[in-house]
């Protein structure tokens, strides 16, 4: 694979605590990214913000403002993971859709391409830059813009099921499912806005468990144990 976009939830950085950062967990992810970069894969990363803040669950304040806090949370996460990657010897860049002074660089396709070509890990922070969206939409948008081959969705769950396996023990995991079926059955691989963007722009998404040993590297190398969402 030439270019992939990896999506991590904010909670994935938090380990058991579900809040803030759990450095050993992040280091494991960083080492897998390093292996891929060393093998010539261009890796972009999008991270959620749920380990700090979610706009839609903050009922007492204006949604736009709550979402702005959420977008800032995703930037904190990207700066943190970027620094762990640097500590492991990688070169990184954090791009945002709005100016953050000298903390990040403004996103453009040309700038992202330049960094990818230099072998840097490129973090797409701040989501889409707009309220009422999510980092699910952010990752699909950036993947389409930078012409990634596939989005790797590293999740707490190991694939896409026809029902919630926590509530229904006979729920079945798909090896492959079309994006049309995901949308029709509301299988919630990513949110609906992101699903439709992926369908309209033919962007495949592969879902797998982040907690399985070396799962990011294995997925890229074809030892895939999750669900492929095809388009
Ligand atoms: N967010 C936003 N626009 C975006 C991306 C994120 O407003 O383009 C905000 C939103 O408040 C969201 C939070 O950032 O709840 C964290 O992003 P994430 O995608 O993790 O949110 P989740 O889907 O878990 O709510």
pLDDT at residue number 58: 87
Contact 215, 209 (CB under 8 A): yes
Pocket test of ligand 1: the residue of 9, 48, 53 to mutate, having most ligand atoms within 8 Å of its CB, is 48
pLDDT at residue number 213: 95
pLDDT at residue number 135: 98
Binding site membership of 54 for ligand 1 (Cβ less than 6 Å): yes
Percent of the residues in the chain that have a pLDDT greater than 90, as a whole number: 96
Contact 108, 114 (CB under 8 A): no
Q: Ligand 1: which residue has its CA nearest to atom 13?
A: 70
State residue 154 phi and psi, 5-degree precision. -90, 115
State residue 4 phi and psi, 5-degree precision. -125, 155
The Å distance, Cα 223 to ligand 1 centre, comes to 31
The residue ranking higher by pLDDT, 138 or 12, is 138
Average pLDDT, the chain: 97
pLDDT at residue number 48: 97
Q: What is the pTM of this model?
A: 0.97
Please compute the mean of the pLDDT values over residues 15-38 and round it to a whole number.
94
Residue listed under structure tokens 């492991």: 88
How many DSSP H helices and E strands does the chain contain? 7, 9
Contact 41, 5 (CB under 8 A): no
Binding site membership of 173 for ligand 1 (Cβ less than 6 Å): no
Taking 90 as the threshold, does the pLDDT of residue 18 lie above it? no
Return binding residues for ATP.
7-10, 50, 54, 161, 164
Taking 90 as the threshold, does the pLDDT of residue 15 lie above it? no
Q: What is the ipTM, given to two decimal places?
A: 0.98
CATH number for 149: 3.40.1160.10
Binding site membership of 130 for ligand 1 (Cβ less than 6 Å): yes
pLDDT at residue number 17: 81
pLDDT at residue number 21: 94
Q: Which two tokens stand for residue 131?
A: 């309220």
Confidence grade of residue 16 (pLDDT, cut at 50, 70, 90): confident
The Å distance, Cα 70 to ligand 1 centre, comes to 5
Q: Ligand 1: which residue has its CA nearest to atom 18?
A: 48
Return binding residues.
7-10, 49-50, 54, 67, 128-135, 161, 164
pLDDT at residue number 183: 98
Beta strands at 227-230 and 205-209: parallel, antiparallel or unpaired: antiparallel
State residue 209 phi and psi, 5-degree precision. -85, 125
Count of domains forming the chain:
1
Domain containing 205: what range? 3-230
Confidence grade of residue 197 (pLDDT, cut at 50, 70, 90): very high
pLDDT tens by residue, 51-110: 999 998 888 999 999 999 999 999 999 999 999 999 999 999 999 999 999 999 999 999
Please compute the mean of the pLDDT values over residues 23-48 and round it to a whole number.
97
Binding site membership of 48 for ligand 1 (Cβ less than 6 Å): yes
Find all residues with CB under 8 Å of 222, minimum gap 6, and list them.
none
Binding site membership of 135 for ligand 1 (Cβ less than 6 Å): yes
């Amino acid at each position: 694979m030439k270019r992939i976009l990896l999506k991590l939830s904010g909670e994935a950085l938090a380990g058991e605590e579900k809040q803030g950062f759990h450095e050993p967990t992040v280091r494991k992810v960083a080492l897998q990214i390093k292996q891929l970069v060393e093998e010539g894969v261009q890796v972009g990363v999008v991270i959620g913000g749920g380990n700090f803040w979610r706009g839609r669950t903050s009922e007492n304040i204006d949604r736009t403002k709550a979402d702005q806090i959420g977008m800032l949370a995703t930037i904190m996460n990207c700066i943190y993971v970027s620094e762990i990657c640097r500590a492991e010897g990688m070169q990184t860049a954090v791009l945002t859709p709005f100016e953050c002074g000298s903390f990040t660089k403004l996103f453009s396709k040309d700038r992202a391409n330049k960094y990818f070509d230099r072998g840097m890990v490129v973090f797409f922070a701040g989501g889409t830059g707009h309220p009422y969206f999510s980092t699910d939409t952010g990752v699909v948008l950036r993947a389409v813009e930078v012409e990634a081959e596939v989005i790797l969705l590293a999740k707490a769950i190991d694939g896409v099921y026809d029902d919630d396996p926590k509530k229904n023990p006979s729920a079945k995991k798909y090896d492959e499912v079309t994006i049309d079926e995901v949308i029709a059955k509301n299988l919630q691989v990513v949110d609906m806005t992101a699903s439709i963007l992926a369908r309209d722009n033919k962007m495949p998404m592969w879902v797998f468990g982040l907690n399985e040993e070396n799962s990011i590297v294995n997925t890229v190398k074809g030892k895939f144990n999750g669900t492929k969402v095809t388009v």
